Chains A and B, each alone.
Chain A
Amino acid sequence: MKDMMIRGADIVVRSLIAEQAEIIFGYPGGAIMPVYDALYDYHDQVRHVLTRHEQGAIHAAQGYARVSGKVGVCIATSGPGATNLITGLADAQIDSTPLVCITGQVAAHLLGTDAFQETDVVGISMPGTKWNIQVRRVEDIAPAIAKGFYIARSGRPGPVLIDITKNAQTDFGEFNYVPCLGFRSYKTHIPVETTQVKQAAELINKAERPYLLFGQGVILGKAEAELKFFLDKSGIPAASTLLGSGALTQDHPNYVGKLGMHGNYAPNLLTNQCDVLIAVGMRFDDRVTGDLKRYAKQAKVIHLELDAAEINKNVKATVAVQGDCRESLAMLTEAIEAKKHDDWMARFRELEQQEKAAVVQHDLTPTKAGLTMGEVIHQINQYKADDAILVTDVGQHQMIAWRYFNYKKPRTQVTSGGLGTMGFALPAALGAQLHDYSRQVICVVGDGGIQMTIQELGTIMQTKAPVKIVLLNNNYLGMVRQWQQMFFDKRYSFTELDNPDFIKIAEAYNIKSQKVTERVDLQEAIEDMLIHDGPFFLEVVVEKEDNVFPMIATGCSVEEVRLS
C-alpha cells in the first residue's frame, strides 16, 4: 500500500499529464518548489517553459490555447507569483480562453497569518476566473485538477485557478486519476429548441435585408463549416467581430468586413439599415455596438448564443436561440430557403468603395514619405502563409493589423480583445509558436506594448521559438495620442516615448534583427524575415501621427462611423 503512495507534487504533474498537457509555462518560487522538483522527473513527458515573468507565462498559455483549441497550462508560486497572473486571468475570462493555472500556497497551518508570500489568491482571482479552488489536502489534488480541466474547456471556455498549499504538495497520497465528466450544478450542453429555430427561420425567410454578425463563438464551437453552409444557402452578407476574424475566410463572397469602433465602413453603417440582424456567437460588446439606444433599432434580432447570461444583456433578442451554434446553425440552414440578396449586397460593396477611396488607399499605398502601419501589413499579406497566425498587442497597430491582415483560416488570430491588455502580444506569440514550430507566427506590436513584456525576448531566445516580431514604432502611445488629438485638443499628455535602441536589445538576446525606415527597404525586409529560420525582430519606423479610420467615436451610433 505504502508503495502506491506518491507525493502531492507528483500527483499534480501526473494529473496534468493525464489531461494531455504538452507544455507548461511557469516560474518557480518557494511555495511551488515541490511541484518544480516533480517536473524534473517528468521532463520527458511534459515540457516546461520558463518565462521571464508570470504575466508572460499566462499570456503564453493563452496564445497556446487560442491557436490549439486546447487548455493552456501555467504554474506560479504564491504571493507575487500568483498576483502576477491576475491580468492574464481577467484577459482569458473576458475572451473565453481555456486555462488551468496552478499556484503554490503557504502551508495550510499558516493560512490567514500573513505568512511569507501569502496572499489570498482565491479571493483576488474570484471575479477573473470561471472557477477557482484552494486545495489543502493531498487527496483533493487530482479531483480538483480533473474538475478544473473539465470546467476550463467545456461550455463557454474560461480560466480556472487551482491554489495548492505546500503541505498538500509534500504529503503522500494515492494516485488514481479519474477524469471529470460532469457534475450536477454545471450543464454544458443545452439542447437547441426547434421552435426557436423555426421562428428564426421564418424571420430570415421574410427578410429583405438580412445581415449576419459572427464572433469568436463560431470558432470556440468549431462551427466554421456550419457558418459557411448557412451563408452559402442564405446569401446573407456577413461581418466579423475582432475575435471572430478567421471563422470565415475573407475570400468568401458573403464576407463584407469587420465590425466595431475601427471596423469597416459598410458593416457598421448598414447595421442600422438591415431588417433582420442575426448574431452568432458574439456578445454585442460596446466596441461593436456604439450607442445602444441607437443600435439596430429597426431590426428584428436573432441571437444564436451558448451563454444564457449574454442573451438580452446588451441587445434584446426578438428570437433567442440558446445552445451550441454548431447545432443551431445547421438546424437553421436546414430550415431556411435558398436565396440571393444581390441588391442588398451591392450596398455593402458601394460603401466599401467609398472606404477604399477615403481610407484604404492612404493606408496601403501612401503617397507621403512616411511609412504607414497599413502598408507593412499589406506587404506581410504578400508573403505570409495561408495559415500564418497573427498575434497583436493593443492599440493602433492592433486595429490596423486586424483591418488589413488577410484571414483565411480559423484560429489564426490571437489578440487581447475584451480586456485590451498591452504587453499581451510578445508572450502570446511565444505560446502560439511553441504549439507548432512549423507554423508562421507573426507578432505585430507597438513600441508602447512591447516594453511591457519585452523581457520575454529572453524566453524566445532560450526556446528558439521562430517568432517573427514586427515592431511598428511611432514613438507614441499611438491610440491614446489619436484620442488626444481628436477629443482632447491635441493635448499630448504623457504619450510620447523616448525609446531605447530596439535593435540593440534584439541583438543582446541574439535575435536576428533589422530596422526599416524607408519604403524601398520594406518589401525585402519582410521577405527576409518570413524566410528566416528562427526568431526575427523587424523594427519599422512609421509615421508619428497617423490615425486609424474609420472610427465610431465613444457615445456615437454605428451610423455615425467616420471616414476621417
Chain B
Amino acid sequence: MKRYTIFVITENFIGILNRITIIFTRRGINIDALTASESRIPGIHRITIEVTVNEDTVIQLVNQIEKIIDVIKAFYHEDEGVVYQEIALYKIPVSRLDGGLEKIIRQHNAKIIAAEPDFVVLELTGHKEQTQELLEILKGYGLLEFARSGRVAVAKRMLTIDSYVK
C-alpha cells in the first residue's frame, strides 16, 4: 500500500464527481482527500484525489475513471512525482495567546489571518505532516476548531493538459 495522487481532467458536467467516486465506493476504497476546481482552461475541471492503495489497484482505478465518458484524462503519481500543498486553519481562543504561542507561530511559519474579540485564526500551508505537527501543539492552547484541505498538486513531468484537450 502506498499513497498516490490521482489527477482527473474532466468536462465540467453535473454528476461527474459522483461517477468518479462510485468507482472507489464499489471497490470499498476510502478516498483520503479530494479537491476539485476549474482548471486554467475554461469549462475544464481538475480533480485531485489522494488515495492509499497498491499500484495494481491505482492503475485499474485510473483506467476506470478515464473510461467515464466525460473524463478527458486521468493519471496517477507517487508522492515523489508531484509538488503538493495543503492548507490548514486553526481557531484559538484569545485568552490563550501568550509569548509561547508567538514563538510557535514563528517556528512553523504560520500566519494570523483573522483576529476577532474572542479568537484568532492561524493559517499554515504545507504537507500533512507539518500541519499535523502544529495541530498537536495547538491542542495545548485550547484549540477551538481545525480544518484542513485536501491536497492541491501539480505534476513534475513537463506535460500540460492542453495536449489532451483538443
A122 to B19, CA, bound (A): 11
- Of all chain B residues, the one with the shortest Cβ separation from A134 is B14
Known A126-B15, A126-B18, A185-B69: A309·B63 in contact at CB below 8 Å = yes
Are B72 and A185 closer than 8 Å at their CB atoms? Answer: yes
Task: Check A151 for interface membership: any CB of B closer than 8 A.
Answer: yes
Are A122 and B15 closer than 8 Å at their CB atoms? Answer: yes
Task: Check A186 for interface membership: any CB of B closer than 8 A.
Answer: yes
Chain A residues in 8 Å Cβ range of B67 = 307-309
Are B64 and A186 closer than 8 Å at their CB atoms? Answer: no
- Of all chain B residues, the one with the shortest Cβ separation from A130 is B69
- Of all chain A residues, the one with the shortest Cβ separation from B166 is A184
Task: Check A127 for interface membership: any CB of B closer than 8 A.
Answer: yes
Task: Check A123 for interface membership: any CB of B closer than 8 A.
Answer: yes
A131 to B66, CA, bound (A): 13
Are A184 and B72 closer than 8 Å at their CB atoms? Answer: yes
Task: Check B11 for interface membership: any CB of A closer than 8 A.
Answer: yes
A151 to B22, CA, bound (A): 20
Chain A interface residue count, Cβ-Cβ cutoff 8 angstroms: 18
Write the B143-160 contact mask toward A (1 if CB under 8 angstroms, else 0): 000000000000000000
Instruction: Looking at the assembled complex, report how far the CB atom of B38 sits from the nearest CB atom of chain A, in whole angstroms.
Output: 16
Interface residues in A84-128 (C-beta closer than 8 Å to B):
122-123, 126-127
- Of all chain A residues, the one with the shortest Cβ separation from B11 is A185
Instruction: Looking at the assembled complex, report how far the CB atom of A112 sits from the nearest CB atom of chain B, in whole angstroms.
Output: 13
Q: How large is the interface on B (under 10, 10 to 19, 20 to 34, 35 or more residues)?
A: 20 to 34
Task: Check B79 for interface membership: any CB of A closer than 8 A.
Answer: no
Task: Check B59 for interface membership: any CB of A closer than 8 A.
Answer: yes
Task: Check A365 for interface membership: any CB of B closer than 8 A.
Answer: no
- Of all chain B residues, the one with the shortest Cβ separation from A151 is B69
From B22, B56, B72, contact of A126 by CB (8 A): B22
Known A122-B15, A127-B22, A130-B69: A185·B63 in contact at CB below 8 Å = no
Write the B82-121 contact mask toward A (1 if CB under 8 angstroms, else 0): 0000000000000000000000000000000000000000
Known A122-B15, A126-B22, A185-B11: A131·B64 in contact at CB below 8 Å = no
Known A122-B15, A130-B69, A307-B67: A185·B10 in contact at CB below 8 Å = yes
A184 to B14, CA, bound (A): 17
Known A131-B69, A308-B63, A309-B67: A184·B165 in contact at CB below 8 Å = yes
Provide a sorted-by-A list of 10 A–B residue pairs whose CB atoms are within 8 angstroms: A126-B18, A126-B19, A151-B69, A184-B166, A185-B10, A307-B67, A308-B63, A308-B66, A309-B66, A312-B56
Q: Top 10 closest A-B pairs, CB basis?
A: A309-B63, A131-B69, A185-B72, A309-B67, A309-B64, A127-B22, A185-B70, A186-B69, A308-B63, A185-B11
Interface residues, chain A, with chain B CB atoms under 8 Å away: 122-123, 126-127, 130-132, 134, 151, 184-186, 307-309, 311-313
